[in-house]
A and B are shown apart, each in its own frame.
Chain A
Amino acid sequence: MGAIFAAEKIAAGYGDVVIVHDISINADEGEIVAIVGPNGSGKSTLLKSILGFARLFGGRIIYQGKDITGITPDRAVSLGIGYVPQINNVFPNLTISENLDMGAYQIKGKASIKAGMTEIYVMFPELGTRKNALAGNLSGGERQMLAIARAMIAQPKVLLLDEPLASLSPKPANAILSKMQKIKEAGTAIIIVEQNVKKALSISNRGYVLVNGTCAMEGEAASLFAEDFSKERFLGLEARGIDKGLPCVHN
């Protein structure tokens, strides 16, 4: 089965500064792919460059077999690519249901919006009980739920999540993970950028390890996790020793 989403040989950064060098990632339907690595390794930049929130210096983005390099974020949504930023990922001055309305902005017809809304409240029952609460008044975990729900209401085929577990305590973090599992089972591919390596890999099929803006390793999540030396590197205890890992393959 071909990948539904692939970013090939991406070089990206901000202004004139290139942060990410020559990284290729892909995701199949119904797969969770984790991009992990220490602080400053370029994980978020890679994700942001896909939608044009960071500058793309080189490379191609392929979605459903088509080249969509340089697409604007609103077009990406209409094609089926959802994105949840790490910070400021809800509209604090809008209520929960209004945030979802914004996520459903491109859905035509009141009936289908309503149906989507009902579905989201089934998937995220904790949001359904507080529809009229301002997003700015929610707890960190609830906010993250809403952020994901806002992206999910557009029924994306690929969901890009930027550090969804950051600054969450274990309980809400686990709740987010179980939602991701459900989203995956419903057929949406998820690409997750995460610093919490253990948790991210625990639900992922495959993973990429980024160090200093390049891909240091890639492979099955279980095998990546099993590598002792890689654990050390993820934790930032040892930034060198890249040569020990399995090299990233560009196809």
Chain B
Amino acid sequence: MIVNWPQVLFNSVVTGSLYLIGAVGLTLTYGLSNFPNFAHAEFITLGAFISYGVAHQLELSLLPALIITFLITGAIGFLCYRGIFQPLARGGANMIHLMVASIALGFILRYSIGAAWSWKPLYFSNVWPLSSLWSHHDIGLLSITNLWLWLIFAAVALSVIMHLILVKTKIGKAIRATSSNPELALASGININRVIWLTWFIGAGLAAIAGIFRGADTQIWPMTGWDIILPVFAVAILGGIGNYYGSIAAAYIIGLAENIGVIALLAVGLSTEYRVGIAFLILIVTLIAKPQGLAMLFRKA
């Protein structure tokens, strides 16, 4: 078997970029609210559908559709926290209760999306048929689409912007502080509810952006988010819950592992359907060997 290694590496960066955008919100809300939000998958799905909807109805191109989708889905994420998880937590719900509630919320959202829109796959190429997003470039051994370049650019821009927010701004420092010690944050005079609300807004908004790229790269259907939630969780856990810098490293490690894994699967004659198993494997091994993930390497987050 001849392996096109440059393409494998490039694909790994593309995959990692998608997982990173998907995982940042999950890891931040997990770190602050102390439970894994499984409905994060549906925030991804909602992003794909909402952007499809606004792009279709308002004839918007990628960037404005992306901004509007970020804002709408962010608001939905905030409402989910404010309306469901916060009252539950106040009433004494523990991590397991909240997690189960998030699974239920995910189901409700997923099947509502299916009922309201459709279970039949939708394609962005129908809304943006003439867009340059789909144009191919061949550079040496590499085959690249503009969409992938946009995805990588979005991930890099996100990394830089989130870094600046977390390190330079008052609210960003408050997010890190609240994540590490909510009681002390309160005793410092930080209104931790506002910090948590904002984080849920940003987290859901970023999930939606992952949904747009995933939807554009494959298809849009009610399972768009669920299809990638496992590697997204693997990134959050490998990176260390609540640890933003750890999740950057973890996203690309898992992206690479998955793309090399696909080659391994092909080499032994197995279906590439098993590629999701690779992220699952990393997830399990991390939980057994080093539950704190890469967090020790990136203490500052």
User: A-side interface residues toward B, CB under 8 Å?
Assistant: 51, 53, 72-74, 77-78, 83-85, 88-94, 98, 101-103, 105-106, 134, 136, 150-151, 154
Closest 9 CB pairs of A and B: A77-B189, A73-B186, A106-B189, A102-B188, A83-B187, A91-B177, A105-B189, A102-B177, A73-B187
Identify 27 residue pairs between A and B in the complex whose beta-carbon atoms are under 8 Å apart, listed by A's number.
Answer: A53-B183, A73-B186, A73-B187, A73-B189, A74-B190, A77-B189, A78-B189, A83-B187, A84-B187, A85-B183, A88-B181, A91-B176, A91-B177, A93-B176, A93-B299, A94-B173, A94-B176, A98-B173, A98-B176, A102-B185, A102-B188, A102-B190, A103-B188, A105-B174, A105-B190, A134-B299, A154-B189
Q: Is B300 an interface residue (CB 8 A)?
A: yes
Contacts of A92 in B (CB 8 A): 180, 299
A73 to B177 CA separation, bound complex (whole angstroms):
15
Interface string of B179-200 (1 = CB under 8 A from A): 0110111111111100000000
Q: Is B21 an interface residue (CB 8 A)?
A: no
Q: Supply 8 further A-B pairs (C-beta < 8 A) apart from A93-B180, A102-B188.
A: A51-B187, A73-B186, A74-B192, A77-B187, A93-B176, A94-B176, A94-B177, A105-B170
- Look across to chain B and name the residue whose beta carbon is closest to the beta carbon of A91: B177
Q: How many residues in B have their beta carbons less than 8 Å from beta carbons of A?
A: 20
User: B-side interface residues toward A, CB under 8 Å?
Assistant: 170, 173-174, 176-177, 180-181, 183-192, 299-301
Contacts of B189 in A (CB 8 A): 73-74, 77-78, 103, 105-106, 154
A78 to B184 CA separation, bound complex (whole angstroms):
15
Contacts of A134 in B (CB 8 A): 299-300
- Look across to chain A and name the residue whose beta carbon is closest to the beta carbon of B191: A74
- Look across to chain B and name the residue whose beta carbon is closest to the beta carbon of A72: B186
CB distance A91 to B299 under 8 Å? no
CB distance B190 to A136 under 8 Å? no
Contacts of A51 in B (CB 8 A): 187
CB distance A85 to B184 under 8 Å? yes
Contacts of B301 in A (CB 8 A): 93
Contacts of B192 in A (CB 8 A): 74
Least CB distance, B295 to chain A, in whole angstroms: 9
CB distance B184 to A101 under 8 Å? no
